[in-house]
Amino acid sequence: MNAYEQKQQNRRERFESRAEKAEQASTAAWEASRRAVDGIVMGQPILVGHHSESRHRGALARSDRAMRKSCEESDKAKHYAEKAAAVGTGGISSDDPDALDKLRAELATVEANQERMKAANKAIRAGKTPDKQIPALVALGFSEAAAQQAIAPDFAGRVGFPSYALTNNNANAARIKKRIQELEQRRAREAVELDGNGYRYREDTEENRVMFEFDGKPAENARAVLKRHAFKWSPLRGAWVRQLTNSGIYAGKCVRAELDKLASE
């Protein structure tokens, strides 16, 4: 597990811990709601004017507040559980130091699938009948069930892998190649560090971030500029950051121009 993967694991565990705490709080609030009305017979109406009226109303109000709290905490638990489950499911991140190796492995798999689908279609055309098609597909590495499925006509009467499947897979390969090229170029860049009027601009290739650092909290109009260009405050880095991409670098250029303009006014 590399540093990025450990960071993702830690993030997942934080969300899971928050989900567990919220679930415990929900259960505790539900118990408090039940205890608040323990002494009241179910269905007992409020006796208006009786000495028990205020106590009865107070118990119902406490029970209602606790039940609302229980529902809120339950929703919070679900929210954090979903966030924990989503960690690491967004594909290969450019922040991962092993991203290039993982992308190259993914590309190899996609390209192998492309050749396999083309070989399968060729075998199906050459075999003409199931008794010849299925053994040919099995020889290519397909299971008996997968081979049966491959020669079963689809809604349009087509057998094998349709042209759109090959086209989509090819487009996926092209997308991965482009990402590899961009990431290689990005990692080959020299780090950039520029001092502006009241800020420091950095392109950190190790952190994979475009950053703006300030001596203190920037003015409201400066923060508005940063937010408008999708920079976010990172307490961990003590800077306003975006991912180091072509669009992030361009956004940094725009922010620098606007901050310099604000400083000269």
Angle between helix 53-86 and helix 3-36 axes, rounded to 10 deg = 160
Mean pLDDT of 238-244: 95
User: In this structure, is the dihedral angle defined by the CA atoms of residues 115, 117, 118 and 122, taken in order, positive or negative?
Assistant: positive
Provide the β-strand partners of residue 233.
240
Average pLDDT over residues 69-88: 95
Q: What are 177-182's contacts with CB under 8 Å, separation 24+? A: 177/107, 179/94, 179/103, 180/100, 180/103, 180/104, 180/107, 182/245, 182/246
pLDDT at 173: 97
Going by C-alpha positions, the residue among 72, 141, 97, 112 that lies closest to residue 3 is: 97
**Cα within 13 Å of Cα(18), Cβ side:** 16
What residues does 242 pair with on adjacent strands? 210
Residue 118 CB coordination number (10 Å): 14
State how beta strands 209-214 and 232-234 pair.
unpaired
pLDDT for 187? 85
Average pLDDT, the chain: 93
pLDDT of 1 > 80? The answer is: no
Q: Is the pTM of this model over 0.75?
A: no
- Asked if residue 41 has pLDDT above 90, the reply is no
